[in-house]
Amino acid sequence: MPATPGQQSEPGIIILYRFGADLFYANAARFADELRALVDDAPVPVSWVIIEANAITDLDYIAARVVLALIDELARRNIEIAFARVCPSLRADIDRHRVTTAIGSDKLFAKRHEALAEARTSAKT
């Protein structure tokens, strides 16, 4: 089911957001705007955003700057951001552009269910 403003995967905990393309200068602002809308329109406050990244194989410099700004913005709102289904090429880009440093390597998951389990555990503590 596509992510839609006003809906959450699990109330108050998680928005599972799938972006269907590589992230680069031409679509990075749209990516950030869509994520902000999902968070802002959630029926209850969000504490985790999980980006299902299986369709994202590249992250260019401009998109990385947008993602880093979004991570900072969400952190100020006490919202964790994580990536699930990260392929090796995306992981290399995330590392090179210091996104891993910004969110922590513990927020990069090979599988969606691992990210969901971590978010659920974190929400209970």
Q: Using one digit for the tens of pLDDT, what is the confidence trace for 84-93?
A: 999 999 999 9
- Asked whether 31 and 23 are in contact (CB, 8 A), the reply is yes
List domains and CATH numbers for the chain: 14-124 (3.30.750.24)
Pair of tokens at residue 26: 């031409």
For the chain, the average pLDDT equals: 89
Q: 61-76 vs 28-40: helix axis angle to the nearest 10? A: 20
Q: What is the pTM of this model?
A: 0.87
58 pLDDT higher than 70: yes
